[in-house]
Structure 1
Amino acid sequence: MMKQGVFSLNNLIYINQDKLEFHLTNGHISYIMKVMPKIKQLESVYFGKAVHVRDDLHNLDEYEPGSGCQIFPNTGIASLEHRRQEYPTYGSTDFRKPAFEIKYEDGDKISNFQYDSYQVLDGTPFYKDMPHVRYADDAATLVILLKDQYSDLELKLNYTIFPDIDIIVRNAEFFNPGKNAYHILSAKSASLDLPTSNYDLVTLNGAWARERHVNRTPLRPGIQEIGSVRGATGHIHDPFIALADKNTTQNLGNVIGITLMYSGNHQETIDVNTYGTTRMMTGINDADFDWILEPMSNFVTPQAVVSFSDKGFNGLSHNYHDLIRDHIIEKHWQNPKRPVLINNWEATYYDFNEEKLVKLAKEAKDIGCDLFVLDDGWFGHRTTDSGSMGDWEVDKDKLPDGLDHLVNRIHDLDMKFGLWFEPEALSKDTDLYKGHNSWLLGNNKKHLSQGRNQYLVDFANPVAVNFLFKKMSKIIDKIHPDYIKWDMNRNITEPYSNYLPKEEQGEVFHRYILGVYHLYQMLTEKYPDILFESCAGGGGRYDLAMFYYAPQAWTSDDTDAYERWQIQTGTSYVYPPAIMGSHVSIVPNHQTGRVTPLHSRVNIAIFGTYGYEFDLTKLSPDEKEELKKGTKQLRHFHDLIFKGDFYRLEPSNPNHGAWEVNSKDKKHAVVCYFYGLSEPNHGYYHVKLAGLDPNQLYEVNGKRKLYGDELMNIGLPLTEDFRGHEDDYWSQAKTDFDTKIFELKAINE
């Protein structure tokens, strides 16, 4: 497709070289920007639903002088405060938050990065030490090179577009080819200026055991911001923000989302100025960040994933889900079925021996489990959560014959074996600390706080990271586990690295998470067939970057069915069920004390990587039979749930909820309906489905036969026809937090 003055090498990126205008489009979305004349900085023109590729953009020009400071007086060029910019700078007529800030040798912080050139590359950028989007040979990347007029510094802005996913991946690369060092005080991954503020802001917020609840609030003038300074993405704020039109629903309306591929301190900012323009930014948190850009070195920001949907929040989620499953998760783990696991934690906590574990494994095998996971407490002298963190040697009091003997007995049951580690944790009663006390993160001359009675290893120190790699490898090579759960149960306090010099202490947080990535990289490269699951006190480090290494993550330490419905609903805005650790546990629930029906715990848990978290030896025969059915149900729906399109539905009763997953060919679907609190004398319930073929006839649970258009416009009836057997209606069991599963199969008329 060629336009006068415009050319494209790949039908994804169109360029007017004379006017320096750039249009990225895949026919579904358009991302348009241009170089501002004289200023030579990048101006944002448009991001949203695809528009025509024009020969030039002069019909979209807006250049009213406006009030305020002028960069060039008497030129008719408005100040940057009035312009929508791609990567706004600090301190030069724009009084909003900048995307970056650099301190020069004389203490000055004013930069002037101007357009120099561009490149169009096939595929996506590759970063050896940072998680990145991958497996996308059919994608294209526009690279804009900017050069600072006050130094030798160079800045590359990367924009990757995909032919089949409505996403733009952005990040920035700073390079210092000169002889002087500079301090990067802020470096965001992406900034997006939008022409209006008539949006609702959507964020995913919470705390430990109640992560990623959905919050929606109107924008207001000024700054609205979320983030983390905990050294991890954190339970409190997911690194995701979305701006939705006021009328946007799950299936209708426009929404723009940005999420960050990073596991450390993050910051998401909405800045609405006095002219009603909205700036949307994400990246590494500015707090306690000071990166020294040495001569001949570069600094790469994490990738930001920007998406647009005109099909509501579900459309936005589909974009993210497809990207994660196809372009972030390691290819080796994209297709294999996930094992059904039993984790011993809530069954035994620290009180176990080999016989108790094997007995639990046999019960798990009987209900269909494939994988036995030994959690915390197998090492050192760990009988409580105080001590032993860092001494990764088996506790011979609990396992006198060693881990390998236990593993062999589990394998003899034709089950896989998994092991829990928390490599970042450190206790002062360990040989690791006594031999390497300088590896503790924090200044030993000052008071250091604890989290879960433990400290942290300084992962900014590559010697410490390599030591842990060798220590873990020794255990792995001896017992040959099939699965590893990597936990991290505390945040960073009193940040200080005994390894780094004093002038580099502003780099501790970022270098720490790079150390985490490095250990993950070494382990997954050496042991590609081990299934890794990430965890951080539940969902405390739940982000795109973690899924680059571990194809699944423990979604929350809260396994209560009611809480999990809310947590997994919010989580699904960005993350697909295929990566959500979701298990069935005992009642009363250990986190909430709530009692929920066993079938509801099963029905909710199958929408994730499924397993069990309680003492199966204490269950009744009826409960075991129900769990056997649950395991079979998971296996029946596994591929559909893991590979299909996930929808959050909007039932007629606002106190209820519903999930739906459709196969890509729209021939098979499953719906989970959640009733919440039981209601007496209620009316008829129904829910409108989504994403079906309107002309296809579907059979629902082998009974009703309804067309797709009926199911999407009239709705799925949730009540049955009791004519002729009314007594069955009055005698049916009623319970709070009830759920029902509906299976839809395409049939011929």
Structure 2
Amino acid sequence: MPIEWNEEQKLFHLYNGRISYMMQLVHGKYLAHLYWGSRVQLLQPLAILPFKVRTFSPMNEPADPRFSLDTLPQEYPAFGNGDFRTPAYQLQSSDGSTVTEFVYDSYAIFKGKPRLNGLPMVYVEDDDEADTLVITLVDSILGVGLNLHYTIYRDFDVITRSVSFENLGSREVKIEKSMSMSVDFHNSKWDWLHLQGTWARERQIERRPLIHGVQSISSARGASSHQHNPFLALLSKDATEEYGDVYGISLVYSGNFKATIEVDPFEITRINMGINPFNFSWLLKPGEIFQTPEALMVYSSEGLGGMSRIFHKIIRSRVCRGVYRDRTRPILINNWEATYFHFTEKKLRDLADAAKELGIELFVLDDGWFGRRDNAKSSLGDWVVNRKKLPNGLNGLASYINGKEMQFGLWVEPEMVSPDSDLYRRHPDWCLHVPGRNRTLSRNQLVLDLSRDDVCDWLIETFTNLFQSAPIRYVKWDMNRNMTEVGSALLPSEGQKETAHRYMLGLYRVLEVLTERFPEILFESCSGGGGRFDLGMLYYMPQTWTSDDTDAVERLKIQYGTSIVYPAITMGAHVSDIPNHQTGRMTPLEMRCHVAMAANLGFELNIDKLSKEDKELVGREIQLYHQIKEIVLFGDLYRLWSPFEGMDTAWMYVGRGQRQAVVFYYKTLATPNPPFLRMKLRGLNPQLRYKINDDGQVFYGDELMKMGLNLPLIKTDFFSEIYHLKAVDFKEISENF
């Protein structure tokens, strides 16, 4: 897993057993991108970078008229000194100019990976896991150092990148753009894929060809957003789920972001991603350092599925942290759709009693337990128990739940404040606002200004006291609106465009303290469902509420799209009531269970009102989930049939050692006189024999992968089936016949 510097060829080579990433110094000062992909050896690097005079491309080296930054594939390009394409950064000096020229100064190679100050990151547990390269460029006129950080892992086919700017001079410099990464690919014959959506329709897959010019995705909402996930991928034209070159990039950040792809006239494709430069700037004072968020970059030669499995493995083990990282999660019941705001302690106890009978392990009390919170119009910020609803307090309810041998969990929305609250009446300046401007409400609430240390300190103290007040073992951390009037009462005029990023730094500080103080609490992040489903939040909270849309049919697309980047163990999925509260659709209880069982299983309905038959079904599905959850949550995912392409959806998880697998099959709408369907499985050991569902037939792995599994003819809408495959030896087969 070394990083090599070839002095003679001026070449940096990062590699492990499977991938290579190469850069080269041109004319001793310009850092050019050579290659990123499958592991290669290189004898003639100069042959990779041909040069030619291009009309209207400026000559940056008079002695070499063929050389121009406008046509050079670069590692971290600027604008203003010859390159007219999308820049990775832009700085403004004290005289107002934005021209920079960072040239190579030095490099350092070391084992391991340092922490990023105040930011989430992909981490190491041992220095032997990874090597890090830092390349330093300097603009001597500006007096600023630019450090490009690269880390390559031994056991993961990934590169992480980030950038830091250091003011080495005596004058202030304003950062107006600072991407976390930039790569120039040497051709443009790609498709690109991203995950778009909105509330209740998050992470819908969209794939389309690249075109000349600029295409981009972004968020300026103060969160990574429902609309665009901070991820994109480049795919070779022939790439499928299991074949072809795929490059995936995901930003370890939860705030405003932008990802841009530009194809120039000479078929070079430039990608960069980082903090959204819109409404952003950062005043860098002498001696100060600005650190960008980190980008996680994945290459796979085995299609989208291969890319996803790489993302899943590193996210599970080197993004998520804490005691729950390697644990299966308790099956929960959330009271929200069963009661909304209108509950009593007796209602909650009755719901818990019914849940316990079915084998549910965790009871979660959702919104409405604090202040005067009988609707969404008041009390955010007043985190005091409503004794009218809970006369025995949180501790009394939690003790009752614990007496049932169930854990107790709680919903909170710490980042928000209601105008109708004691907190707002005491501190009206604590929300994001601009003096003299209207304070726009969304869901009858405002956003607390987490760029302020006093607000963050208050949050830490308040929620430390709250989490200590009862035996709380799960917290759903919600955030139900995006930012408007993004300004801070404490920042000077020249620092107002720093507010959104300082907010994220403040949030990360709060989360770091609280998750360290309460390691036995399982934190689940939420933002109106999946509006902040990103690697930044997963660094602190190892799972996310995937969507407020609990309809089983819609969840097929949402969970399928989410799986492009994120593993099943990061997804919260609940079985809810019918008609579904978001779509009005009627789906069988079995299908609702089977969709939710492909992630962290939970329930969000009045179980006490289920029929005897439905309660028995739920009990059976919970027993099945206990048998398969290790495979689902820690296994390798293979997406078989896409819900974006037809009425049939299928995916499967293969456990460690390939001795067990779980296949999920769903049909949304039946068709008359249907054909026979045969589903080819993936990821199995071709030499092993697999028994299906214990009492089923036995097949070789290669039979199932090459010939397929016959599916039943379906004459009903909304059908689902789970197939549990177990490897068996010859002796066991003989005894069964």
TM-score of the superposition, structure 2-length normalised? 0.97
709, 715, 722: which one aligns with 2:708: 715
CA RMSD of aligned residues (A): 1.4
Q: Residue in 2 aligned with 1:248? A: 239
Distance in 1, Cα, partners of 2:257 & 2:385: 37
646, 660, 669: which one aligns with 2:661: 669
Query: Which range is displaced more, 61-70 or 402-411?
Result: 61-70
Distance in 1, Cα, partners of 2:47 & 2:535: 39
Q: Residue in 2 aligned with 1:62? A: 50
Shift in Å, 1:179:
1.7
Structure 1 segment 214-613 matched on structure 2, within 5 A = 214-613=205-604
Shift in Å, 1:56:
5.5
Could you give the per-residue CA deviations for residues 144-170 of structure 1, whole angstroms, max 9, x where no partner exists? Answer: 111113222111111111111111000
**Aligned residues: percent identity?**
43
Distance in 2, Cα, partners of 1:650 & 1:431: 52
Structure 1 segment 594-743 matched on structure 2, within 5 A = 594-650=585-641, 654-702=646-694, 703-719=696-712, 734-743=715-724
Shift in Å, 1:61:
3.4
Relative distance call for 1:179 and 1:386 in structure 2 (3 A) is same
Shift in Å, 1:654:
4.1
The 8 Å contact of residues 340 and 610 in structure 1, kept in 2 or not, is answered as yes
The SS at the match of 1:548 is helix
2, 13, 20: which one aligns with 1:23: 13
Q: Residue in 1 aligned with 2:31? A: 42
Distance in 1, Cα, partners of 2:117 & 2:593: 40
Q: 2:76 aligned with 1:95, yes or no? A: no
Shift in Å, 1:65:
2.4
Could you give the per-residue CA deviations for residues 417-457 of structure 1, whole angstroms, max 9, x where no partner exists? Answer: 10111011111121111111110111242112111111111
Distance in 2, Cα, partners of 1:735 & 1:608: 25
Could you give the per-residue CA deviations for residues 397-426 of structure 1, whole angstroms, max 9, x where no partner exists? Answer: 211222211111111111111011101111
Distance in 1, Cα, partners of 2:527 & 2:311: 22
Distance in 1, Cα, partners of 2:667 & 2:480: 34
Shift in Å, 1:107:
0.4
Q: Residue in 2 aligned with 1:730? A: none
Distance in 2, Cα, partners of 1:520 & 1:736: 44
Instruction: Give unmatched runs, 5+ long, in structure 2.
Output: 731-737
Could you give the per-residue CA deviations for residues 9-65 of structure 1, whole angstroms, max 9, x where no partner exists? Answer: xx4212202332011111211111111115x1210001111111x355233331222
The 8 Å contact of residues 176 and 297 in structure 1, kept in 2 or not, is answered as yes
Q: Residue in 1 aligned with 2:146? A: 155
Q: Residue in 2 aligned with 1:78? A: 67
Shift in Å, 1:77:
3.6
Shift in Å, 1:178:
2.1
* Partner amino acid, structure 1, of 2:405: D
The 8 Å contact of residues 560 and 642 in structure 2, kept in 1 or not, is answered as no
Distance in 2, Cα, partners of 1:740 & 1:100: 51
Distance in 1, Cα, partners of 2:158 & 2:43: 24
* Partner amino acid, structure 2, of 1:108: S
* Partner amino acid, structure 2, of 1:384: N
The 8 Å contact of residues 135 and 326 in structure 1, kept in 2 or not, is answered as no
The SS at the match of 2:717 is coil
Distance in 1, Cα, partners of 2:647 & 2:394: 48
Instruction: Give unmatched runs, 5+ long, in structure 1.
Output: 1-10, 721-732
Distance in 2, Cα, partners of 1:179 & 1:59: 42
Query: Which range is displaced more, 546-555 or 145-154?
Result: 145-154
Shift in Å, 1:537:
0.4
The 8 Å contact of residues 531 and 550 in structure 1, kept in 2 or not, is answered as yes
The SS at the match of 1:479 is coil
The 8 Å contact of residues 651 and 687 in structure 1, kept in 2 or not, is answered as no
The 8 Å contact of residues 650 and 688 in structure 1, kept in 2 or not, is answered as no
Q: 2:133 aligned with 1:142, yes or no? A: yes
Q: Residue in 1 aligned with 2:735? A: none
Relative distance call for 1:120 and 1:663 in structure 2 (3 A) is same
* Partner amino acid, structure 2, of 1:502: S
Shift in Å, 1:650:
3.3
Q: Residue in 2 aligned with 1:104? A: 93
Distance in 2, Cα, partners of 1:416 & 1:569: 30
The SS at the match of 1:225 is strand
The 8 Å contact of residues 377 and 420 in structure 2, kept in 1 or not, is answered as no
Q: Residue in 1 aligned with 2:4? A: 14
Distance in 2, Cα, partners of 1:677 & 1:197: 39
Query: Which range is displaced more, 371-380 or 69-78?
Result: 69-78
Shift in Å, 1:120:
1.0
* Partner amino acid, structure 1, of 2:88: A
Q: 2:103 aligned with 1:114, yes or no? A: yes
Shift in Å, 1:224:
0.6
The SS at the match of 1:80 is coil
Distance in 2, Cα, partners of 1:685 & 1:361: 42
The 8 Å contact of residues 16 and 55 in structure 1, kept in 2 or not, is answered as no
Shift in Å, 1:136:
4.4
Could you give the per-residue CA deviations for residues 318-350 of structure 1, whole angstroms, max 9, x where no partner exists? Answer: 111011111011142222220000000000000
The 8 Å contact of residues 250 and 650 in structure 1, kept in 2 or not, is answered as no
Shift in Å, 1:132:
0.9
Distance in 1, Cα, partners of 2:672 & 2:372: 54
Distance in 2, Cα, partners of 1:357 & 1:211: 31
The 8 Å contact of residues 158 and 298 in structure 2, kept in 1 or not, is answered as yes
Distance in 2, Cα, partners of 1:402 & 1:609: 29
The 8 Å contact of residues 63 and 76 in structure 1, kept in 2 or not, is answered as no
Query: Which range is displaced more, 346-355 or 629-638?
Result: 629-638
The SS at the match of 1:141 is strand
Shift in Å, 1:284:
0.3
Shift in Å, 1:719:
2.8
Could you give the per-residue CA deviations for residues 271-317 of structure 1, whole angstroms, max 9, x where no partner exists? Answer: 11111111011100010001011111111111101111110101000
Shift in Å, 1:677:
0.6
The 8 Å contact of residues 102 and 184 in structure 1, kept in 2 or not, is answered as yes
* Partner amino acid, structure 2, of 1:66: R
* Partner amino acid, structure 1, of 2:436: K
Shift in Å, 1:69:
1.4
Q: Residue in 1 aligned with 2:734? A: none
The 8 Å contact of residues 189 and 236 in structure 2, kept in 1 or not, is answered as yes
Distance in 1, Cα, partners of 2:44 & 2:112: 26
Distance in 1, Cα, partners of 2:658 & 2:54: 53
Shift in Å, 1:597:
1.2
Q: Residue in 2 aligned with 1:4? A: none
Distance in 1, Cα, partners of 2:192 & 2:686: 32
The 8 Å contact of residues 312 and 565 in structure 2, kept in 1 or not, is answered as yes
